[in-house]
Structure 1
Amino acid sequence: MPMLNSSLPLAGVRVLDLSRILAGPWCGMVLADMGAEVIKVEHPGRGDDTRDWGLRVGKTETAYFNSVNRNKRSVTLDLQTPEGQQIARDLAKQCDVVIQNFKFGGIDKLGLGYEQLSKEQPGLIYCSISGYDRTGPEAARPGYDLVVQGEAGLMALNGEASQPPLKFGVAMVDLFTGMYSAQAVLAALYQREKTGKGRHVEMALFDCGLMITAYYGLEALLMGEDPPRYGNSHPSIVPYGVFDAADGPLVITVGNNAQFARFCTEVIERPDLAADERFKTNILRSANRAVLLPELHAELAKRQRADLLTKLSASGIPCGEVLGLLEALNSRRATDAGLVTTQPHPVAGKVNVLAPPYRFDGERLPVRSAPPQLGEGTHEVLQSLLGLSDDRLAQLKTSGVV
């Protein structure tokens, strides 16, 4: 039986999502997944930029847009008009959280900045997402994931050592910034329960990008230089990475010395490697990886992937296939977990929507609604929250405000 809305963790919390593209909408979707009512405000004519990115779904959505806007309502407002700005302010008064990622200073010109809204709503949680530190000299610089991947050193640590710096396959900085932002909003909501006071949460893509360099970042500081790049191998554990069997790639993660001994004797039948003093410990294996890895690659290339996976599992060594993305989405593992759902769509008939990854008390949080068509909730939301009449809404639509 699907989880009832009232039993969701953030049931009763209302969010006004004034953000667009990826980091801000991802933050809003996390809150929506957990039960918050999220009202996404978009321009009446074009909507969020991502409605025009990637593969089309229906008339107003794309796969890109859908990936970050499930469980939301869409309300169209032209925020460049005084009427649209006033409606947004009125909506904010009905909300617990506001999310925005306008260019620096842009939101204040609309009368929707934190200082402006918090005067009437001291309990408001307001999340501003920017490219760079809002108190620093680059506050006005626009933030783009790919630019920050380069500036934060992420591209420099990704890829093979023999190749140029490489971006991540997805917009990692945007996604992590969205997740960090959602965490900060949740912390502010928790604190408000105790103090009654709101907070201004300020997040920057560069800050989050630098944070996810993690142990690579700390190693660079210790060494005083960039750590080497290892591609699909681990920087400090050997053997640990992607290897080619005779019929396809697999991941092998030998995490300790006992596993290495079993790997050599039980999986590839090379007890001489386990006995070699150069490979007795992980530190030694890492130091001598240039000697060890060619031997392992040669042995693994002689064997079938399925046989290797069976032996590795029997030996207690973590392993897995390297699947294509479509294979992974259609896998039994994803199907059994309910991670890919099919939702009804008024134009396309049906649409695939990934399910939230969270489980509470053993139950996955539900997809309550597919990503919204542009403006699908405008009439209902403005009428129910602000009491606007049918005539008034018709006037606003005629004038292009909604």
Structure 2
Amino acid sequence: MFNQTASLPLAGVRVLDISRVLAGPWCAMVLGDLGAEVIKVEHPERGDDTRDWGLRVGSTETAYFNSVNRNKRSVTLDLQKAEGQRLLRELAAKSDVVIQNFKFGGAEKLGLGYEQLKEGQEDLIYCSISGYDRTGPEAARPGYDLVIQGETGLMALNGEAGQPPLKFGVAAVDLFTGMYSAQAVLAALYERQRTGKGRHIEMALFDCGLMITSYYGLEALIKGEDPPRYGNAHPSIMPYGVFDASDGSLVIAVGNNHQFGRFCREVIERPDIVEDERFRTNIDRAANREALVPRLLQEIKARKREVLLERLERAGIPCGTVLGLHEALTSQRTQAGGLVAIQPHPEGGHMHVLAPPYRFDGERPPVRLGPPVLGEGTYDVLRSLLGVPDKDIDRLKAEGVV
């Protein structure tokens, strides 16, 4: 039934993805990339919300949907109907992992909560993703990436000094939550091999969003106030950011004091700067930022980008050009790495899909299944996995269950 690659780490693991939008589907996609069989359950008419977000691909997909749903099959079930719930429970009984992000208490109302599904299936791994701590007073609050970015202080650290709070360009909290959730599922699968028992994993967008604040968060606690915002610059590493040469922009990331010495002597030919006591260490340079930055900007602006890049590379200092998104996706580096796959599409002929970022023994896992057309796997999965005859599936379809 499934197009599996037996050599992938999660081959033989079945995941039932009853989540929507981004964090849950991202978690399930990661597991699918690693070899798991992923069955994505969607509403028969609407499908996942993201099938209606962004640029259209065919009649039921969009670029947004496709970005988080490769390596999955789509099965449609109306979980508001008793037969839909029954079929879901039967699918769960055949699965190793269930991922859901219903509103708090919603899965339980449908008879699909952890305590309900684990009866007779003590080895079930069940991942619940919500906006806030499910044990706290805000458990019932819906969670949205934009709101969480505001509430966790992420907007306050993003952007340029003196400008309004700024969100990340992508839904960073959702994506990190999906990755953290996948990590937790992998840990539970590993533990299950030893104990034979499953786990109920509970993930909250707020918790994961707060983790993203990382060193900025710890600095805020040490100082007792918000750290300054530096835009493309770094709070404690100098010089580190986007700079304008005479003919274009480039990224320079001087990572330590030895590199700074080479930068001054070999790249901008100003040994006097590194010999200045105010600029000897990263801590010194950060403290004397206002005196240092104008000098660096002047020297970089006086030189052509290619000259700077050649000198930086020769000196072993991290650097690069600033590309547009389309330029980056179509670059020789991206193509050589096989990071963009072209998959067949039943309506549009073909579609672009980002490839998994992993390599195992030198090989990148293939995109085994392109993002699915709504309900493409319903007959196949119900027939092969649950033994439901075609005539019964036809009846269920006529009744709006599938």
Q: Does the pair score TM above 0.5?
A: yes
Supply the distance in 2 between the matched residues of 1:160 and 1:379 (Cα, whole angstroms). Answer: 53
Q: 2:112: which partner in 1?
A: 112
2:200 aligned counterpart, secondary structure: strand
Alignment of 1:251-330 (within 5 A): 251-330=251-330
1:340 offset after TM fit, Å?
0.5
Give the AA of the match of 1:156: A
2:39 aligned counterpart, secondary structure: strand
Q: 2:395: which partner in 1?
A: 395
Q: 1:74: which partner in 2?
A: 74
Q: 2:6: which partner in 1?
A: 6
Alignment of 1:324-339 (within 5 A): 324-339=324-339
Supply the distance in 1 between the matched residues of 2:80 and 2:190 (Cα, whole angstroms). Answer: 34
Alignment of 1:123-202 (within 5 A): 123-202=123-202
1:364 aligned counterpart, secondary structure: coil
Supply the distance in 1 between the matched residues of 2:323 and 2:225 (Cα, whole angstroms). Answer: 35
Q: 1:237: which partner in 2?
A: 237
Give the AA of the match of 1:101: N
* Ranges of 4+ aligned residues in structure 1 off by more than 2 Å: none
Q: 1:353: which partner in 2?
A: 353
Q: 2:342: which partner in 1?
A: 342
Supply the distance in 1 between the matched residues of 2:20 and 2:355 (Cα, whole angstroms). Answer: 21
Q: 1:250: which partner in 2?
A: 250
Q: Give the length in aligned residue pairs.
A: 400
1:30 offset after TM fit, Å?
0.3
1:120 offset after TM fit, Å?
2.1
Stretch of structure 1 that moved more, 21-30 or 292-301: 292-301
Task: Work out whether residues 149 and 173 of structure 2, in 8 Å CA contact, stay in contact via their aligned partners in 1.
Answer: yes
Q: 1:382: which partner in 2?
A: 382
Supply the distance in 1 between the matched residues of 2:4 and 2:44 (Cα, whole angstroms). Answer: 32
Unaligned runs of 5+ in 1: none
2:393 matches 1:364: no
Supply the distance in 1 between the matched residues of 2:151 and 2:166 (Cα, whole angstroms). Answer: 12
Task: Work out whether residues 4 and 35 of structure 2, in 8 Å CA contact, stay in contact via their aligned partners in 1.
Answer: no
Supply the distance in 1 between the matched residues of 2:83 and 2:282 (Cα, whole angstroms). Answer: 66
Task: Work out whether residues 4 and 11 of structure 2, in 8 Å CA contact, stay in contact via their aligned partners in 1.
Answer: no
Supply the distance in 1 between the matched residues of 2:12 and 2:258 (Cα, whole angstroms). Answer: 52
Supply the distance in 1 between the matched residues of 2:200 and 2:48 (Cα, whole angstroms). Answer: 24
Aligned-pair Cα RMSD in Å: 1.0
Give the AA of the match of 1:127: C
Supply the distance in 1 between the matched residues of 2:256 and 2:342 (Cα, whole angstroms). Answer: 42
Stretch of structure 1 that moved more, 268-277 or 129-138: 268-277
> For each residue in 1:65-106, what CA deviation from the matched residue of structure 2 results, as whole angstroms up to 9, or x when unmatched?
000000000000000000100000011000000000000000
Task: Work out whether residues 114 and 200 of structure 2, in 8 Å CA contact, stay in contact via their aligned partners in 1.
Answer: yes
Supply the distance in 2 between the matched residues of 1:61 and 1:276 (Cα, whole angstroms). Answer: 59
Supply the distance in 2 between the matched residues of 1:399 and 1:385 (Cα, whole angstroms). Answer: 21
1:62 offset after TM fit, Å?
0.2
Give the AA of the match of 2:134: R
Task: Work out whether residues 123 and 192 of structure 2, in 8 Å CA contact, stay in contact via their aligned partners in 1.
Answer: yes
Task: Work out whether residues 4 and 37 of structure 2, in 8 Å CA contact, stay in contact via their aligned partners in 1.
Answer: no
Query: Is the alpha carbon distance of 1:376 and 1:70 closer, same or farther for their aligned partners in structure 2, counting shifts above 3 Å?
Result: same
Supply the distance in 1 between the matched residues of 2:291 and 2:108 (Cα, whole angstroms). Answer: 61
1:257 offset after TM fit, Å?
2.0
Q: 2:224: which partner in 1?
A: 224
Q: 1:101: which partner in 2?
A: 101
Supply the distance in 2 between the matched residues of 1:370 and 1:251 (Cα, whole angstroms). Answer: 35
Unaligned runs of 5+ in 2: none
Q: 1:122: which partner in 2?
A: 122
> For each residue in 1:135-192, what CA deviation from the matched residue of structure 2 results, as whole angstroms up to 9, or x when unmatched?
0000000000000000001000111112111100000000000000000001001111
Supply the distance in 1 between the matched residues of 2:259 and 2:381 (Cα, whole angstroms). Answer: 58
> For each residue in 1:194-228, what CA deviation from the matched residue of structure 2 results, as whole angstroms up to 9, or x when unmatched?
11111000000000000111111111111111111
Stretch of structure 1 that moved more, 257-266 or 45-54: 257-266
Give the AA of the match of 1:318: P
Q: 1:203: which partner in 2?
A: 203
2:62 matches 1:62: yes
Stretch of structure 1 that moved more, 295-304 or 351-360: 295-304
Give the AA of the match of 2:80: Q
2:85 matches 1:85: yes
1:4 offset after TM fit, Å?
6.6
1:360 aligned counterpart, secondary structure: coil
Aligned-residue identity in percent? 75
Supply the distance in 1 between the matched residues of 2:122 and 2:200 (Cα, whole angstroms). Answer: 11
Task: Work out whether residues 245 and 302 of structure 2, in 8 Å CA contact, stay in contact via their aligned partners in 1.
Answer: yes
Normalised by the length of structure 2, the TM-score is 0.98
Q: 1:24: which partner in 2?
A: 24
1:269 offset after TM fit, Å?
1.7
Normalised by the length of structure 1, the TM-score is 0.98
Supply the distance in 2 between the matched residues of 1:31 and 1:213 (Cα, whole angstroms). Answer: 26
2:210 aligned counterpart, secondary structure: helix
